Amino acid sequence: MLKNIDPLLDAGLLGHLAAMGHGDVLAIVDRNFPAASTAQRLVALSGVDVTTAARAILTVFPVDTFVDPAVLRMGAVGDEDTLQPVHADLQAVVDEAEGRAVSSEPVERFEFYRRAAGAYLVVATTEDRPYGCFLITKGVV
């Protein structure tokens, strides 16, 4: 038992997050993302949306301050630059956790898949809003 650890952060997920180093990338993805066929390491959080997952993860995970942008989001096909509601919600969670405005940018769908395949860890949620997929670069403490 640990104190002050979000219950979503079980031993497996905490172990992966702790093993990540500065510059490693975390993917937090929606239910439509091909996580099982893409991930090097996969943690599934059933019944959890991306903002809830991110809120828990960001209690222990520092976001990089040396790369710009530190957060990438999957853009809607043919409309990559439009900020979707799920994007705005995740951005608010990241900014709140970091206590600062964290830069983010859209990435075209297939480019997102390519980058996610190189992520250290993929956390698959059951987020049902489309384009609820994000890449977050780990910082230092």
Q: Among 22, 36, 66, 83, which one carries the catalytic annotation?
A: 22
Helix (H, G, I), strand (E, B) or coil at 85: helix
Q: Is 22 a catalytic residue?
A: yes
Residue 106, H or E segment: strand 104-107
State the Cα–Cα distance between residues 20 and 27, nearest whole angstrom: 12
Q: Which residues are tagged catalytic?
A: 22
